[in-house]
Amino acid sequence: MVVPGDFYPRPGFSCRCRYLYVCLLAFVATQLLIFGAIFHRKCSYISWLWRGCAVRKSQCPMISPHLIGGFEVETHVPAWQTIIDNYPMLQNGGRYQPPDCEARHRVALIIPFRDRDIHLKIFLNNIHAFLMRQQLDYGIFVIDLEEGIPFNRALLLNVGFLEANKVHDYQCYIFHDVDLLPENDHNTYSCPEQPRHMSVAIDKMNYRLPYMTIFGGVSAMTREQMLTVNGYPNKFFGWGGEDDEMYNRIKFHNMTVTRYTGDVGRYKMLAHRREQGNPNRFALIKSEKKHYHQDGLSSLIYDVTKREKRRLYTYIRVAVDRKQLATS
């Protein structure tokens, strides 16, 4: 039987509700404070409760205080272990992040490679110190082709771009020949609003720009710029021509090639045997004007045959079907 009084709270019930309500509000407020602390510390809830969490690092200064300007590069050939011992702060794969601040630039160095171990040793021994002084969040990727496939610098740069994208959220891509060593660390390895040609003044060319449309040696582009121009062409097997074609792609999309002044963009070129130029490069450059949207990142097909995160760099070797690329 239902008694009319049962529809109303009994004495003491209202007090208990208010007590529980206040406790609930206190719990919610506490959780908000905790999550606010977690947000600023950038760590998980469990990590914050049990281990504590370091306060978020401040952003690195616009100009690194570690820069020294012009310097003499080291051209002796060190042993691999010596280079590794010189850079104990590196992560596997040639990754580095400044320990005391948050880097302003996330940069991938893409190195097209073929049978130049001596150059690679000298390059790595110099470039890691250079990049660390610039307080960059960077990784180095050395991209190689299987034996028997003619060298193709542009294709390897495309592969490096795609593979680096898979491992980190890079903003900037430096396409870098292994025989060029920067001589001034004010030559910042970052990407401006327009593509940048960086190796402006090379010692073997009397520190002069050989011609105004050059975009080879060392150059910098953002992810968006690379995607806009569809990357480099894939058909330039042999030496030469691919950088001129990239310059044409940049101009076609109404972008401008920027450069540092010659006293900043200085490089030393390591001695090497001059390779025979691709005899078809001029015809390829002419034909690519009509097919840039078909030949590039969008048409690249390759197989990774070897991938190793070595201490000083990430090594990637690929195989491609040359005939398939020729018809794409």
Give SS3 for 142.
Answer: strand
Which two structure tokens, joined as six digits, stand for 140?
Answer: 């180095």
pTM, entire model: 0.80
| 278/267: higher pLDDT | 267
Given this model, what pLDDT does residue 298 score? 92
User: What are the Cα distances from residue 5, in Å, to 2, 9, 16, 195, 268?
Assistant: 9, 8, 19, 81, 96
- Catalytic, 253? Answer no
Measured distance CA(64)–CA(71) in Å, rounded:
16
Q: What are phi and psi of 201, to 5 degrees?
A: -130, 110
Of 185, 243, 244, 288, the active-site residue reads 243
* Residue 185 annotated among the catalytic residues of the structure: no
Q: Is the pLDDT of residue 200 over 70?
A: yes
Identified catalytic residue from 16, 56, 66, 272: 272
Q: Active site residue: 48, 133, 239, 259, which one?
A: 239
User: What is the DSSP secondary structure assignment for residue 191, as one 8-state letter?
Assistant: -
Whether residue 179 lies in the annotated active site: yes
Average pLDDT, the chain: 85
Distance, CA of 1 to CA of 178 (rounded, Å): 93
Average pLDDT over residues 255-270: 97
The answer on pLDDT for 163 being more than 60 is yes
To the query of whether residue 193 is one of the catalytic residues in this protein, the response is no
d(CA 80, CA 57): 33
Please indicate whether residue 269 is annotated as part of the active site. yes
Q: Say which range, 73-87, 289-303, 309-323, has the weakest mean pLDDT.
A: 289-303
242 belongs to the catalytic site: yes
Distance from C-alpha of 267 to C-alpha of 203, rounded to nearest angstrom: 6
Look at residue 247 in the predicted model and tell me its pLDDT: 93
- Encode pLDDT of 235-244 as tens digits: 878 766 688 8
Catalytic residue among 144, 179, 185, 288: 179
| Residue 74 designated active-site | no
pLDDT tens-digit map of 7-45:
334 445 455 666 666 667 777 666 666 555 544 444 444
Paired tokens of 312: 């000083």
For 153-309, where are the alpha helices, taking DSSP H only?
153-167, 223-229, 242-252, 281-291
177 is annotated as an active-site residue: yes
Mean pLDDT of 140-166: 96
> Is the predicted pLDDT of residue 248 greater than 70, yes or no?
yes
- Given the residues 269, 291, 310, 311, select the one marked as catalytic: 269
